[in-house]
Amino acid sequence: MSVINVGQAVVLGAVEGVTEFLPVSSTGHLKITEGLMGIPVDDTAVVGFSAVIQVGAIAAVLVYFFKDIVRIVSAWGRGLVDKEERYHHDYKFAWWVIAATIPIVVVGLAAKPLIAGPLASLWVVAASLIVGSGVMWVADQRGRHKRGEDDTGFKDAMLVGSSQILALLFPGFSRSGATMSTALLLDLDRVAATRLSFFLGIPALTGAGIYELKDALGTGVGAAPLAAGTVVSFVVAYASIAWLLKYVAKHNFNAFVIYRIIVGVLLLGLLSVGAISG
């Protein structure tokens, strides 16, 4: 019997799609939802399932930013054969994304037993939600929001890309929250910080989904739940991306900060009284 049924997969796919690119922690929300539904959050198959349905969300990014991605990849391809093209920002940006993905890959492989084990605890999620909120608030307040996407450089990409490690090690911190906060501290404006977060997340999350596929298929999750969760994740994530880009153009991150604190405190309360298992 599958550890996750189709109905549960649809719910988890919707949660993944809504939260993957919002700075509220998709991993944290998935683990909370799994806990409320009685699904073992530290089960290898469940961890694998969560990584695979992320591919649906990543597919939404690929579709939403298709023209940008084609432009960047084309510039990178031209630069490989034409020296003059190597001065183009898009060519350099493609290499920066590749380089910025290396740290999270190295840490992800080295710390996999920890990530899938002790750090998968809901207690860690609750603490990370609250601590990450403080980091996000400070970053939004201190950032000068004066640099656009065209002003980014190698240092920006490496620092923002490496910050994904925080979310990898501490589910609840939020990959989007970590990358956006780092970008804001580097004085990028909110839209540029959000778009950079999207682009840097593509290789890392896609790689994680492919790497975990064998565990999700081979240890208790069937093809039907995987397909359902991934499709729902794609549809919901596409709508979430469109909304977020419009939102950050006119608003600060205070609403996300407050929401994260509320969820973190509620989760601590539920864990303390034994309403859900950590």
| Residues 229 and 53 sit within 8 Å (Cβ to Cβ) | yes
Domain ranges of the chain: 6-272
User: Which two structure tokens, joined as six digits, stand for 249?
Assistant: 């153009």
Max CA distance (Å), the chain: 64
Over its length of 278 residues, how does the chain's per-residue pLDDT go in tens digits? Answer: 678 999 999 999 999 999 989 999 887 888 889 888 888 877 778 877 887 888 899 899 999 999 999 999 999 999 999 999 999 999 999 999 999 999 999 998 898 888 877 887 889 989 999 999 999 999 999 999 999 988 999 999 999 999 999 998 998 899 999 999 999 999 999 999 999 999 998 888 788 777 766 666 665 688 889 899 999 999 999 999 999 999 999 999 999 999 999 999 999 998 999 877 77
Please give the pLDDT value at position 222. 82
- pLDDT given for residue 68 in this prediction: 95
CB of 220 within 8 A of CB of 9?
Answer: no
Question: What's the confidence (pLDDT) of residue 217?
Answer: 64
Q: Which of helix, strand or coil describes residue 147?
A: strand
Taking alpha carbons only, the member of 23, 17, 1 closest to residue 255 is: 23
